[in-house]
Structure 1
Amino acid sequence: MNFTSYLDTPDFQALALHLMIGLEIPVHIFGAFCILFRTPKSMKSVKWSMLNLHFWSMGLDLGVSLLTIPYILYPALAGFTLGLLSNFNVPLSYQAYLLAVLIGLLGVSIVTILENRYFLLFAQERWWRHARLPFLAFNYIFAFVYFIPAYYYIPEQTEALREVFEMLPELPQDIYSAPVFVLATDFTYVVLPVFFMSNLLVLESAAFIVLIYGNMNERTKKLSLSRHTIKMQKTFLRALNIQTCIPLLILMLPMGYLVTSRIFNIYLQSANNLCFIIIAVHGLSSTLIMLYIHTPYRNVCARIFFSKITDYSRRMSSVSTVL
C-alpha cells in the first residue's frame, strides 16, 4: 500500500517543519532582542519573566521543528522522528521525554510570569514572599520529573509493535521498515501524568489571575493605588493574557483532534502531521503577538520595518520620476 497523499508522508512532515524553523528562528531572535534591549523602564520588573516565557516557547518550537520532527502513528502512541537528534542516534525515548519536559516548562513559565506580577504588585510584604521561591522551585522540578512514570513503563518493543500494527489499518511498507518506537500501549501511564501536570498549571494560573484582579479591585476601592497605575497594570495584564491565551487556543485544535482520534480510533496520518505543524506554530504566534500587543515592541517594529518600506517606496518614486 502506498501513501494516499503527500500530506501523509514523512517527507512532507520534514519539509513543512524545516520551513517552519526557517521562519521561526529569525522571529524568535528578534523577539529576544526586543525583550533584552527595547524593554522600557516601565516594564523592567517583568523583563526577565517575559524572557523566560519567550525562551521556553522558543525551546518548544526548536524541539518540535528542528530537534525531533515527530512522525506519530496516532491513535497509537508510536512513531519515529526525523530531526537533528535522530541524526546523532539519540534514543527515541529520550526525545519523547525532552518534548514532554519542554511542554511542561512552557506551562510553568506562564505561571511564573503571573506569579511575578502578583508578587510585585501585592505580595512583597506578605507571607507569600517566603513561599514563592519554594513554590517556583517545585514547579520547575516537577516539569522535569512529571513524565517519569510514562518513561519508566515504556513497553518491550517487539510485542508493543505487534499490538500497534494490529490496531492500525494497513500501512505503507516504508512505515513497517522504519525505526518505529512505541511509547506506551497502556495510555494510563501517559495520560495521568499529563493530565495532572496540565490541571496543576491551569489551577495555578487561574489562582494568580483571580488574586491579581481581586487585589486590584480592592485597592481601587480603597484608593491606595492611583487610577493611572491601575489603568497601566490592567492594560499590561490584558496584553499578557492575550499573549498567552491565543497560542494556547491554537494548541487546543490539535489537542481536540487527538482526543477525538483516540476516542473513536481514527487514524488519519495527514491529520497527525498537521497537528504537529500547528503545535510548531504555537511559539511563532506567541512571539508575533508579543511584538504586536505590547506597545514598546510594536513601536520598535514600526520604526525598523515600516521606515524601510517607506524609504524603499521613496527610492522607487524617485527612480520613476527620473525615468
Structure 2
Amino acid sequence: MLPISYPDVYSNILYAISGFSIPIHLFGGYCILFKTPLVMKSVKWTLFNLHFWSAALDILLSLLAQPFLCSPFLAGFPLGILKFAPTDVLVLVLKTVFMLVPVSIISMFENRYFILFVENRPRRCWRYLRYPFLIINYLFGITYFIPIFLNVPSDQENARRILFNMYPDACEYVSDKNLVFVVDIGDIAWSKIRENALTFLLLSEIIVLAVVLRVKMSRALKTAISGDTLRMQKKFLRALNIQIAIPILLFFAPAATGILTSQQTSNEQLEHNLFVITTSFHGVLSTILMIYLQKCYRDVFIGLFGCRKPDLAINTVVLPSIRFSIA
C-alpha cells in the first residue's frame, strides 16, 4: 500500500497543499474585491461568493479538518489544526460547505443569465422566479445533512464496536482505533441515495443554466456587426466553456468517485485519501484559471509579479441592450 494511506503522510501532504493554496486564494479574493472593473460589477459579488465557498472547502480539507475517512460508514477522525473541536460539528460544517460550492456555481450562472437577458426586459417571469429558485437551492445545501447530524450515535464505543465487527479492516493504518468517530451507522444506502439525488439535482441545474446561457449568447452573436466583435465573443464563449468544465471535472467527478468507493469494501483507504486530496485542489485550480482567464485579474498578476507592464485596457463588446466583459 502506498504511504499516502497512512495518517501522518496524508496529513503532511494536505498541509503542503494548504501552504500552496492559501496565498493564491487570498490573492484571488483581493483581485475580485478591489480590482474588478466597473464593467464587471454586475458579477463581482456572485464571483466572490463562489470564490469564498471554494476557498473555504479547500482550507477545511487541507488545513482545518483534514478528514481521515475510514469505512463505508460515515466514520473517521480529523487530523487538521481543529482536530480537538467536536468531530460531529466539523463534519456538519464540511458537508454544508461541500454542497454550497455547487450552489454558488449555480448562483454565478444564474446571475449572468439574469444580467444579460432578463434585467432589461421587465416582462420576463424569471425576474420573480429567480429568488425562490436561489433560496431553495441554498436551503437544500444548508439543511440536507442536519438529519444525520441530529442522529449521531451518543454511545461512540458501541458504534465503533458495530463498525469494526462489520468491517474488521476499517482504519487498518490507524494505531489508536479510539480516535475513530462514527457519525452514522444507520441505513447507509438511504443516505447515499439522498446525497446522490441532491448532487444530481445541482449538477443538472448547472448544466441547464450553462446551456441556456450559451444558446442565448450564440443567438446574440448573430447581431454582431464587425469581425472583431465576433472574435471577441468567441473568446468569451471559450472562457465560459472552461468555467463549465471546472465544476464538472474538479468537483463532481471526485465527488462521484468518493460515493462509489465508499460503497465498496472497507479496505479502500487509498481511494478515500486521494478523493480528499483531489477535492482540496478544486478551489485553488479554479482561482488560478480565474486569474488567467479574466484579463483584468491577469493584468494585476503581471503587474505585481511579471516583467512587463500590464495592458490596462479592458476589451468589451456591446450588443443591443447587452454589455459583455471579455477575458
TM-score (norm 1): 0.83
C-alpha spacing 1:81/1:184, structure 2 compared with 1 (3 Å): same
- Which deviations, in whole Å up to 9, do the C-alpha atoms of 1:197-231 show, x marking residues without a partner? 2122112212212322232334444x3x6666676
Shift of 1:295: 2.1
Gap regions ≥5 residues in structure 1: 309-323
Partner AA of 1:168 in structure 2? Y
In the other structure, the counterpart of 1:21 is: 18
> Given that residues 156 and 181 in structure 2 are in contact (C-alpha distance below 8 angstroms), is that contact kept between their aligned partners in structure 1?
no
Partner of 2:164: 165
- Are 1:113 and 2:108 an aligned pair? yes
Q: 1:226 to 1:184 in 2, by over 3 A?
A: farther
Higher helix share: 1
Alignment of 1:118-267 (within 5 A): 118-124=113-119, 125=121, 126-155=124-153, 157-170=156-169, 171-172=172-173, 174-221=175-222, 223=223, 232=232, 235-246=235-246, 248-251=248-251, 254-265=254-265, 267=267
Name the CA distance, whole Å, in 1 between partners of 2:298 and 2:219: 32
Which has the greater radius of gyration? Answer: 1
Q: Secondary structure at the match of 2:175?
A: helix
Aligned mates of 1:244, 1:211 — CA distance in 2: 12
How far off is 1:172 after superposition?
4.8
**Aligned residues, how many?**
301
SS of the counterpart of 2:184?
A: strand
Counterpart amino acid of 2:33? Answer: L
SS of corresponding position for 1:84: coil
Equivalent pair of 1:93/1:183 in contact (CA under 8 Å)? no
Cα displacement string for residues 236-256 of structure 1 (whole angstroms, at most 9, x for unaligned residues): 353244135235413455445
Question: 8 Å contact 2:31–2:297 — kept in the other structure?
Answer: yes
**8 Å CA contact retained: 1:75, 1:258:** no
Instruction: Name the aligned partner's letter for residue 151 of structure 1.
Output: F
Percent identical among aligned pairs is 38
Q: Deviations over 1:45-102 (max 9, x none)?
A: 2111111110110111111122211011133321111223323xx3211111111110
Is residue 67 of structure 2 the alignment partner of residue 70 of structure 1? yes
Specify whether residues 52 and 70 from structure 1 end up closer, same or farther in structure 2 by C-alpha distance, changes over 3 A only.
same
TM-score normalised by length of structure 2? 0.82
Query: Structure 2 residue aligned with 1:36, among 15, 33, 37?
Result: 33
**Aligned Cα root-mean-square deviation (Å):** 2.6
Q: Provide the rounded CA distance (Å) in 1 between the counterparts of 2:152 and 2:79.
A: 21
Per-residue deviation, 1:175: 3.5
Aligned to 2:300: 300
Give SS of 2:107's match.
helix
